[in-house]
Amino acid sequence: MCSREDISRYENCEHTAKKCHDYWEKYLSDKHEASEMPEKYHNNREEDKDRD
């Protein structure tokens, strides 16, 4: 029998794991895009330099 505390702790853990998983999926897909379109990212870096 799970206590209410155990259940909420488990749900928080699962929620965090999902957020972490989603973050890495996005991170990896962004990295993949960057390798396909380097000029887009290169231009962004150039703009950042001008801003300083």
Over the stretch 10-52, which tens digit does the pLDDT of each residue have?
777 777 878 877 888 888 787 766 555 556 555 555 555 555 5
Fill in the DSSP letter of residue 2. Answer: -
Query: The domain containing residue 38 runs over which residues?
Result: 17-51
Position 5 confidence tier, pLDDT thresholds 50, 70, 90: confident
Are 41 and 34 contacting, i.e. CB atoms less than 8 angstroms apart? yes
* 9, 10, 27 from 17: Cα distances, Å: 12, 10, 15
Q: Give me 42's structure tokens.
A: 């290169």
pLDDT at 48: 57
Residue 2 lies in a domain: no
pLDDT at 27: 81
How many structural domains are present in the chain? 1
Residue 36 lies in a domain: yes
Roughly what angle, to the nearest 10 degrees, separates helices 4-36 and 38-51?
100
